[in-house]
Amino acid sequence: SIRILNMDEKLSKVYEEVATLKMQNSALNEEINELHLLLLELGDPDEKPHPKMILRGDTWIVEGHEKTEHQLVVSCSKEENVEIVKCDGGDEYFCIRIQPIAGKVLVENCKKLKIVADCVLYEIVLFNCEDVVLVIGGESPFIELNNCKGVGLLLSHESMDGPIELVQSGGVVLTSPVISREKLAHKMVCTPEELESGDRLWFCELPSFVQMSFWNGKWFTRPTSNVDNQSLSFGS
């Protein structure tokens, strides 16, 4: 009977160890499944994202769109932001229109794109973009071009009050009805050679630079070398 009792104790311990191992494996499997889902969500960084336009929190995400026959229209309110990511027009430009009012606009890793914004309350940031045309129909207090080349800016009179900031960017062309009325150069071009790495131009006086706030009929400039670390994502 003593042997049977000892055997029962050993079996009981074995069952307990088996149950513990099952629980540990279950927790491990859950972690593996969560990691697998996260990897699927992140995807291959070199793979083209599937086209989407969704509202996430207070931010419209427009991602992965290529040349289309019709323009894309993002209808948002002043409480909503817009992020345009990895859109490419290919051989020809295609248009994304933001209307009627957006809070902030971020354009990142885009090519051959025309963006028409009726009104932006706070800021527009272009990051790592090439061959992009930005048309502002109304107000836009602040525009930043960060690591961009080949950008065309067409600004209305209302959007000329705020500064345009260049960070390691060049090949920028600015046009505006205000420039024509003031009999300044209709196009003002800034090449990459005219910008040292990390320099910022705030206000502009010389038409040979594209930089810019229009102040009392003149352009003003103030170069600095201090580049702040700013988050490019608005979050939700």
Structural domain includes residue 133: yes
Residue 230 lies in a domain: no
Task: Give dist(CA 120, CA 21) in Å, integer.
Answer: 58
Q: Which domain holds residue 4?
A: 1-47
Evaluate whether residue 229 is within a structural domain: no
Judge whether residue 236 has pLDDT over 90: no
Do 5 and 82 share a domain, yes or no?
A: no
Q: Which is more confident, 209 or 133?
A: 133
Q: Are residues 177 and 156 in contact, defined by beta-carbon separation less than 8 angstroms?
A: yes
Rounded to the nearest integer, the mean pLDDT of the chain is 70
More confident residue, 182 or 138: 138
> What's the total number of domains in the chain?
2
pLDDT category at 228 given cuts 50, 70, 90 is very low
The answer to whether residues 100 and 159 belong to one domain is yes
Helical (H) or strand (E) element with 23: helix 2-42
Instruction: Tell me what pLDDT residue 91 has.
Output: 83
Would you say residue 77 lies in a domain? yes
Let me know whether 87 and 192 are in one domain: yes
Q: Hey, which of 3-12, 13-22, 210-219 has the most confident mean pLDDT?
A: 13-22
Is the domain of 32 the same as that of 61?
no
pLDDT of the residue at 95 = 92
Supply 10's token pair. Answer: 């050993």
Q: What is the pLDDT of residue 92?
A: 83
Question: Per-residue pLDDT tens for 189-198?
Answer: 444 444 333 3
Confidence at residue 162, expressed as pLDDT on a 0 to 100 scale: 74
**More confident position, 220 or 186:** 220
In angstroms, how far is CA 222 from the centroid of its own chain? Answer: 26
Q: Do 85 and 24 share a domain, yes or no?
A: no
Please, which pLDDT band fits residue 130 given cuts at 50, 70 and 90?
very high
pLDDT band, very low/low/confident/very high, at 60 (cuts 50, 70, 90) = very high
Residue with tokens 């499944």: 33
Asked whether the predicted pLDDT for residue 49 surpasses 80, the reply is no
Answer yes or no: is pLDDT of 138 > 50.
yes
Instruction: Say if residue 62 is in the same domain as residue 111.
Output: yes
**75 pLDDT tier (thresholds 50, 70, 90):** very high
Mean pLDDT of 40-58: 73
Instruction: Compute the distance between CA of residue 61 and CA of residue 77 in angstroms, rounded to an integer.
Output: 14
Long-range Cβ contacts of 206-211 (<8 Å, 24+ apart): 210/153, 210/164, 210/166, 210/172, 210/173, 210/174, 211/164, 211/165, 211/166
In this prediction, residue 224 carries a pLDDT of 35
CATH label of the domain that carries residue 78: 2.160.20.70
One domain, residues 13 and 82: no
Give the tokens for residue 205. Answer: 């006086």
Judge whether 236 lies within some domain.
no
User: Same structural domain for residues 90 and 7?
Assistant: no
Residue 69 shares a structural domain with residue 107: yes
- At 132 the pLDDT is 93
Residue 113: the pLDDT is: 93
Do 34 and 68 fall within a single domain? no
- pLDDT surpassing 60 at residue 79: yes
Question: Higher model confidence: residue 183 or residue 86?
Answer: 86
